Amino acid sequence: MTTISVKSLRNFANNKFLVFSCILFLIIALSAITAYTISTRQINHSFIEQQLSVASETIRLRLATTVNSDIALLLKMADTPVIQQYFMNPSDHALKSQANAELAIYKEHFNNKILYWVNDVDKTFYSTGNAPYIVNPDDPENYWYNLTLYETEKYIFNINYNPDLEQIYLWVNVPVFVTVQTGKKPIGLLGTGINLTDFSNFIASSHREFDKNITTYMFNKYNEITSAVDYELVRNKVHLDEHLGETGKKLTRVAHELSGGESRSFIYDKKIYMVNSIPAMKWYLAVSYPVPSLLSLNHAMNTVFFSMLFLILFLFIIINIFIARSENAIEKQNLRLLEANRKAEFASRAKSDFLAKMSHEIRTPMNAITGMAELLLRGELSCEARSYARDIKQAGNNLVSIINDILDLSKIEAGKMEIIPVKYMLSSLINDTINIIRMRLMEKPIRFYTNIDGNIPDSLTGDEVRMRQILLNLLSNAVKYTEKGYIGLTITVDKQDDKQVLLRIDVADTGKGIKPEHQANLFDEFVRVDVKKNQGIEGTGLGLAITSRLCAAMGGKLSMKSEYGKGSLFTVIVPQGIETKEPFAVVEEPERKKILVYEGRVVYARSICWTLENLTVPHVVVTNQDDFASALYHDEWFYVFSGYGLYEKIKPLMEKSDSVFCGGKKPHLALMVEWGTEAYIPNVRFVSIPIQSLSIANTLNGKADNHNYYEVSGSSGVIRQTFPNARLLVVDDIATNLKVAEGLLSPYNAKVDTCLSGVEAIELVKRNKYDLIFMDHMMPEMDGIEATAAIRKLENRNEVPGKNGKQIPIVALTANAVVGMPEMFIENGFNDFLSKPIDVSKLDEILDRWITEKERIINNKEQITENKDQILAIPGVDVQKGVALLRGSLKAYKNILILFCKDVAERLSQLQIMPEADTLPAFIIQVHSLKSVSASIGAQEVSFHAAGLEAAGKAADMAFIREHLPDFTVQLAELEKNIRAVLSE
Ligand code: ADP
């Protein structure tokens, strides 16, 4: 057996179960032993009592039988006439011999016992085997003589001790009477002697057979001991109560309470006593036996009991050792698991640290790469170089988004992903998402519809950023993995109460689908499935992992259904708080606004129906010209919704006079367009595809649509305003980064100072008045946090020029984008946070946020005078609209015009060539971009033409393109020339 070590014993003791089981075992064992002891004692007692009773009964009966038969014989002899006559004439020889003959017959009956007789005439004592002698009745020794002759009618007993033989005898004496006139006259006696020593020996030996410890006494009614192993006691007629003291008293008391032949037992002073009466002799027999010790007597029972006990103990020990060993094994296993867990935690922390570091290290050069590419794109470039620069920027952005994904995942894994609920507008979240997805869909023949339940409260609370991420991830995947057909975004309410709405977001596509065997682990990180078929599609396999974890973190869940080759449906169910209950989209008096929808594209027609039903607007959908024509004049319509491509066909029908229409009034017309080309046709409303419930509601309620879908310029970002009076400082230890920042800030016309260290920055802050400082975080010697602290100190001591106690806004510029960073910077005296690589739109937001109103008022004033002084007039361009789109900044507008010219110059050369079937997609992109870009500067006519060409391209209507493209290029070249002319003024 295994040696149980001290440790395992301690474990054993520590284990509550084992301790409990030991205690239980002890209790059970003790109870068993106690019960066994009590019952064995009981059994032993009864057994002894039984034995004692058998033994004493035997003695009693034997003695009684012997005595009774002897008495009977003696009485018979006393009645014999020969004997009586001989007793009266002892000297008569004839009589003597007759009597002896008679006596000889009886002698045989007495076996070996002594038979004796005495006649009262000569008082000669005759006995068998002994010489006769004369008895002197007056001798006190011979008290029995007179006692027999004169005091009894039947018999008397006396006991004496024969010192020669060392024997005790019980003498039975019977008187011999003759009947005379006066009555009975004693003439002598007959007697026999019973050797009581033999009896005592018999009793003793019979008991000794049973046990040596047995003690026997007989005593008479005077309590004199009449039989005992110690003959002296008998001879001296010692009283039993004198001899045994208290025990003797109890024995004699019990004995005298007995009625004939009865027996009684009791336990006294550790002995079992049994007392019997022997009525024939009026004697008592007392036997005793010490109370047996616990384990004596029932050896077989003891053996069985204790073997069982030992067996149970043995089993108990074995089981406990087994448990202790398995406990030990579990303990070891737990320790191993703890250790593994500790290592895993360490590894996870190391991984997070590594990722943070890696992200920092990669982001810093990425800032240079994407920033420089951005600057290149802003300058004059050949077509080829521009395309390379765009590719560099695109690839850089992709890399940054992969790093972001990895960081997100590591944050989620480390449990550091915080869900930060804010108040947000669902409509703007949806709009932003739709715009991004629309852009991505440009190159694919895919229809995109949205069915958004208008009853959802618009103002919600939740983590808007993460909601956007979820929507974008799912929709981007749909775009990536779908080649034709449609993509749909449906948002409905699963459940709603006063405080919370459970949103159900379905993203459906008719893409490649996912094989059933790949679906199970699709939400695991780095899982990309069907890699062969998806070759060429960029991805890391992180999007769905992040999405599903984000859903879970927000208390929701992501699920999916897919049919391979047919498409997929991803569903998110997520709770969001309700800020105000106002619904997302409501049509006022919907029953009065019946709509005729003419749309040949089934996907869009279905989506419009869904939305109109959701908004409870009565409607009829037609899909061909004839149905449209007949429906148009046969009912009263509030609005006609038609696809933009059908405008030419319905135009003649709609241009008829009011009287032709039911109700005497022409319905309003809304054209559904895929890109923003609104305001070209008088009295026609443009509604962007995908049609949204809000757009429909706004249209039917006669409100303007708030959402404009502009794609601004070939380079990214919108420069919304300039800050010529502002002075900015950029601090970074890497010169390239300074160059990038300078370049990105240059369109804002602000004065930008740069320096390479915190120490320099402090010097500059002491000397100049800055409106905003961009401060790098990690710098040698003095990092950004220390430099900021020093600047804040200077400000407190009023050692900073022109600030009058006000703080200079300091924006942390860092490549360290791990969670908690923004909070850390704010705590350390920074005002804002901009991550590297710099996202130009974020940069714009920051400038907008921190450059003071005062600066802007001055700018706007200037702007207004500037606008007044130099109102630009460009033929074919609505300058005012263009400027308004840039928040009234003429300077920014001019910048956009410069970029527009560059862009057009580049595209014109490509548009000179008539597209073929294989170059058609590229052509569509070209005209599509021109459509949007020209709309954004207010060149509506060009935009409209571009839209026409785009539609023709999408319909592969080569004849239309061939007819209109040359005119369009001429028009475009004209526009570029006109703009350049104005700009050069
Ligand atoms: P990524 O798209 O970067 O590879 P994701 O985690 O977003 O990573 O997606 C994991 C995989 O799931 C993808 O590689 C693609 O095989 C599959 N998948 C995701 N969305 C779709 C979809 N809409 N249709 C078909 N397959 C999809």
Please give the pLDDT value at position 803.
63
For ligand 1, is residue 501 a contact (CB within 6 Å)? no
Cα(156)–Cα(135) distance, rounded to whole angstroms?
17
Cα angle value 171/177/180 (rounded, 5°): 165
Please state the atom number of ligand 1 nearest to the C-alpha of residue 405. 3
Q: How far apart are the CA of 281 and the centre of ligand 1, in A?
A: 120
Nearest CA to ligand 1 atom 19: 477
For ligand 1, is residue 510 a contact (CB within 6 Å)? no
DSSP summary character for residue 928:
H
Choose one of 544, 558, 569, 571 to mutate for the ligand 1 pocket test, by most ligand atoms within 8 angstroms of C-beta. 544
Q: How far apart are the CA of 703 and the centre of ligand 1, in A?
A: 40
Please state the atom number of ligand 1 nearest to the C-alpha of residue 512. 25
Nearest CA to ligand 1 atom 25: 513
Please state the atom number of ligand 1 nearest to the C-alpha of residue 530. 16
Q: How far apart are the CA of 391 and the centre of ligand 1, in A?
A: 24
Q: Phi-psi region for residue 404, left (φ > 0), alpha (ψ -120 to 50) or beta?
A: alpha
Up-side HSE of residue 516: CA atoms within 13 Å toward CB?
Answer: 0
Q: How far apart are the CA of 487 and the centre of ligand 1, in A?
A: 15
Q: How far apart are the CA of 460 and the centre of ligand 1, in A?
A: 29
Nearest CA to ligand 1 atom 21: 477
For ligand 1, is residue 540 a contact (CB within 6 Å)? yes
Nearest CA to ligand 1 atom 18: 477
Please give the pLDDT value at position 298.
66
Cα(193)–Cα(159) distance, rounded to whole angstroms?
9
Please state the atom number of ligand 1 nearest to the C-alpha of residue 527. 10
Instruction: Provide the angle, in degrees to the nearest 10, between the axes of the packed helices 16-78 and 6-14.
Output: 80
- Residue 587 carries which side chain, given as an amino acid letter? V
Q: How far apart are the CA of 528 and the centre of ligand 1, in A?
A: 6
For ligand 1, is residue 488 a contact (CB within 6 Å)? no
Nearest to 171 by CA among 216, 135, 214: 135
Cα angle value 626/632/633 (rounded, 5°): 105
For ligand 1, is residue 544 a contact (CB within 6 Å)? yes
Q: How far apart are the CA of 467 and the centre of ligand 1, in A?
A: 19
- 442, with CB counted inside 10 A (0-12, 13-18, 19+), is middle
Nearest CA to ligand 1 atom 9: 541
What residues does 671 pair with on adjacent strands? 642, 686
Please state the atom number of ligand 1 nearest to the C-alpha of residue 544. 6
Q: How far apart are the CA of 543 and the centre of ligand 1, in A?
A: 7
DSSP letter string, 68-135? HHHHHHHHHHHT-HHHHHHHH-TT-HHHHHHHHHHHHHHHHHTTTSEEEEEETTT-EEEETTEEEEE-
Nearest CA to ligand 1 atom 8: 541
Please give the pLDDT value at position 339.
92
Please say whether the beta carbons of 968 and 946 come within 8 A.
Answer: yes
For ligand 1, is residue 618 a contact (CB within 6 Å)? no
Please give the pLDDT value at position 897.
82
Quote the pTM value.
Answer: 0.51
Query: Both ends of the chain: CA-CA distance in Å?
Result: 106
For ligand 1, is residue 478 a contact (CB within 6 Å)? yes
Q: How far apart are the CA of 538 and the centre of ligand 1, in A?
A: 10
For ligand 1, is residue 530 a contact (CB within 6 Å)? yes
Kind plus residue range of the DSSP H or E element containing 251: helix 246-257
For ligand 1, is residue 528 a contact (CB within 6 Å)? yes
For ligand 1, is residue 505 a contact (CB within 6 Å)? no
Choose one of 471, 528, 531, 563 to mutate for the ligand 1 pocket test, by most ligand atoms within 8 angstroms of C-beta. 528
For ligand 1, is residue 632 a contact (CB within 6 Å)? no
Cα(217)–Cα(225) distance, rounded to whole angstroms?
7
Cα(773)–Cα(766) distance, rounded to whole angstroms?
13
Taking the chain (985 residues) in consecutive chunks of 10 residues, what is each chunk's mean pLDDT?
52 66 84 83 77 74 80 88 89 88 82 84 85 87 86 80 72 88 87 76 58 77 82 83 90 87 83 82 81 67 84 86 82 91 84 75 81 78 76 82 78 76 87 80 85 92 90 93 93 93 96 89 76 71 88 94 94 95 90 92 92 94 90 91 86 86 88 60 78 88 54 39 85 80 81 91 91 88 90 86 78 73 86 81 83 57 41 76 65 76 80 81 79 78 85 82 88 88 76
Contacts of residue 619, defined as CB under 8 A and 6 or more positions apart, other chains included, come to 594, 595, 596, 597, 608, 609, 612, 613
Cα(416)–Cα(553) distance, rounded to whole angstroms?
11
For ligand 1, is residue 545 a contact (CB within 6 Å)? yes
